Amino acid sequence: MRRFPHALPLAVLAIVVGVATAAVALLVPWVPDAASEQAGRTDTLMWFLIWCSVAIFTGVGTVMLYAVWKFRAKPGDESDGPPMHGNTRLEIIWTVLPTILLAVVAVWAYLVLAENEALADDRIEVQVAAEQFAWTFRYPEQQVESGDLRIPVDRQVRLQMRSKDVIHSLYVTEFRVKQDVVPGITTYLIINPTETGTYQIICAELCGVGHGTMRARVIVMPQDEYDSWLEQASRQVSSERAGADAPDTAAAATTTTP
């Protein structure tokens, strides 16, 4: 212990700082429950980064607090501190370790992105139109339009997104995916929902005075409920078409309806 006189107090302080930092990481509900395959992969990477940050913060915070407490100048002491030159071993360590850490994170993030965006053959394609300040979802095959995004659980959905005016961004926190919607180009967002339920779609790009109200629902349904909803909506579209093509019949039908 005499060779390292600061080891014991540093270790005790490190435990205090470490427990406090870990408590902040664990006890605050930072993100809502995950509801997509993408969310699982993103969260694993995020928690790896959080725990690395907790460890680094604990190390830096501990040494800093200890130095401020143990080595602060006595009142009236105006002398310079001891002259310091570089420490080659320390500099190599603090260059190599972050390099390895960043390389690991870069490769991992690339793999997460590649897996999150891997296209399934049986995916559902939905067209999304964003405008100030509303979302419209269109099912091209059935020509159905909806203000809510309805999708079946455990199937892949690819959103083909276009903007009519300014840049918007489609974000569903439970899915952990977000993509800008940019005028003039089509952008894509891929989701594999794993939980049924209703979640909020929010616009995550400041797009004007109504930005905060630019919300819609995404309703993840069991496959059979989704099928029957889509079939009914598509039948309604065809009957409206038929009505528009033959206005006289439509008018007649309306008058006879009680």
Distances (CA, A) of 6 to 30, 55, 203: 36, 19, 52
Ramachandran region of residue 93, left (φ > 0), alpha (ψ -120 to 50) or beta?
A: alpha
Q: Which stretch binds Cu ion (CB under 5 A): 34-42, 153-161, 166-174, 246-254?
A: 166-174
x/- site string to Cu ion, residues 203 to 222, per CB under 5 A? x---x------x--------
- Token digits for 221? 């349904």
Q: Rounded to the nearest whole angstrom, what is the least distance from the CB of residue 167 to Cu ion in the complex?
A: 8
The site that binds Cu ion (CB under 5 A) totals a number of residues, namely 4
Closer residue to Cu ion, CB minimum distance, 112 or 134: 134
Contact 149, 174 (CB under 8 A): no
Q: Which of 41, 150, 168, 176 binds Cu ion (CB under 5 A)?
A: 168
Q: Which is nearer to Cu ion, 34 or 207 (CB)?
A: 207
Q: How far is the CB of 202 from Cu ion (least distance, A)?
A: 9
- Judged by beta carbon, residue 98 or residue 183, the one nearer Cu ion is 183
The secondary structure element, H or E, covering residue 136 is strand 134-139
Does 128 participate in binding Cu ion (rule CB under 5 A)?
no
Distance set, CA 149 to CA 41, 64, 182, 218, 231 (Å): 23, 51, 19, 5, 15
165: CB partners within 8 A, 6+ apart: 131, 132, 183, 207
Binding to Cu ion in span 98-117, by CB under 5 A: none
Give the nearest distance from C-beta 215 to Cu ion in angstroms.
Answer: 10
Binding site for Cu ion (CB under 5 A): 168, 203, 207, 214
